[in-house]
Amino acid sequence: MRPLLILGIIQFGALILCVNRSADAQTTPSLPPSVLNSESDNNSLGDILKTDLLNRLRKTAEEINKQSSNKTRKPRPELGQRRGVFEPVDLSEYLGPDGDQEKAWDILEKNGKVPPRSVFEPPSVPQDATSPIQDLWKDAPLEKRMNYVEDLMKRRKYYSAQNELDEILETGLKGDDLVNALVMREKALFHLKHGKTVESDYYRLKAYFPDDKRIDELKTYLEDQSGIKPLQDTVLKNPSNSQSQRLLLDQYIKHQWLDFAEEFFGVTINDTSEASIQSLSEVYYRKQDHPMLIELSRAAQNLFPHQAIYYYNEGAGLYAKGDPVSLHEAKSVFDQAFKLARQKGLQEKINWYRSHLPSTKR
């Protein structure tokens, strides 16, 4: 039995190393408890081989992480201190590009990394038993159907609420009934994590119903439910606090509300502190609104003429535009930024751009 145990461990180790090397990931998950804590004799050859295997596995993971961190990337504009990272789950980090993603999702769900499937895929229902009720319900008065939608929202059945509202809207509502249904639908979409869609819909509704208070109340609801409102209040009390602005901006980014963010930082607080300029700079950078990034950077240079980051940000915006005139202007802007830069990291970013400009590119 001992040779079979050793052979099994070696084969298992080779399999793990093969999968690990093929995975396109920055991190390697820990081994299951059953592997780490298997029952075997102390100091047995199997334990020694197993320990050696784990050490090699960790070493391989460290080498992969080191290689990934050494990759050259285009520098970003100086946008202030970052707080938090919001990235979608990449299943290839757990299985590799050729792995079984269905099994990976089950593991992630079990470990609490992703929501249950039921959130996205409602369970099937016996159609024969419910169809008579559904047919009867379609002829129910609008008031009863809207009451049912409100009940679904209270019970956090947002997917069902959205479907019900879509059916109601197909009946050709008008006036107040139409506005109420549309506003309720946007609330359901928000809870279903469709932040970007909700933001776009809000501005359409605001343009179509400019004087309707229910549209303004919708935005208040979104700010309250997203946790943005208390962060806004903190920033308004002290706009120059870069940390509180960073927390607020991260929350806007999490919900993909860049237009809401631009409206708040550019209009609501109406502040010219460096913290506000950095927040707006990141908003324009993420929206790929390069002309506004350039314009803001030039205005900041008048307020803070000795700060290199605003010349650097202007240069990054000009470089992103890519036309010959902008690239020519970027050279002199980056030269000025380099003269003012005192930090080695910023100097390296500036030199990256300078080396990639057409006039200096080899």
CA quadruple 342, 345, 348, 352: dihedral sign: negative
Q: What pLDDT digit, counting tens, does each position of 59-105 carry?
A: 776 776 666 666 667 777 777 665 554 444 454 554 445 556 666 66
What tokens does 17 get?
A: 């190393």
Give percent of the chain above pLDDT 70.
Answer: 65
b (16+ CB within 10 A) / e for 174-213: eeebebbbbbbbbbbbbbbebbeebbebbeebeeebeeee
What tokens does 262 get?
A: 């631009």
Q: Are 255 and 261 in contact (CB under 8 A)?
A: no
pLDDT at 172: 87
Q: What pLDDT digit, counting tens, does each position of 247-259 carry?
A: 999 999 999 999 9
pLDDT confidence of 28, banded at 50, 70, 90? very low
pLDDT at 77: 78
Cα→Cα distances 103→32, 100, 175, Å: 15, 6, 49
d(CA 127, CA 225): 35
Q: What pLDDT digit, counting tens, does each position of 260-315 carry?
A: 999 999 999 888 999 999 999 999 999 999 999 999 999 999 999 999 999 999 99
Q: What pLDDT digit, counting tens, does each position of 217-232 carry?
A: 999 999 999 999 999 9
Predicted TM-score (pTM) of the model is 0.64
**Does residue 7 have a pLDDT over 70?**
no
What tokens does 234 get?
A: 């903190």
d(CA 319, CA 294): 10
Mean pLDDT over 242-246 rounds to: 95
Q: Which of 80, 106, 81, 77 is nearest to 91 (CA)?
A: 106
**Does residue 167 have a pLDDT over 70?**
yes
3-state secondary structure 272-339: CCHHHHHHHHHHHHHCCCHHHHHHHHHHHHHHCCCCHHHHHHHHHHHHHHCCHHHHHHHHHHHHHHHH
Residue 135: CB atoms within 10 A of its CB come to 9
Q: Which of 80-89, 110-119, 121-130 holds the top average pLDDT?
A: 110-119
Q: What pLDDT digit, counting tens, does each position of 126-160 carry?
A: 555 556 566 666 778 899 999 999 999 999 999 99
Mean pLDDT over 231-243 rounds to: 95
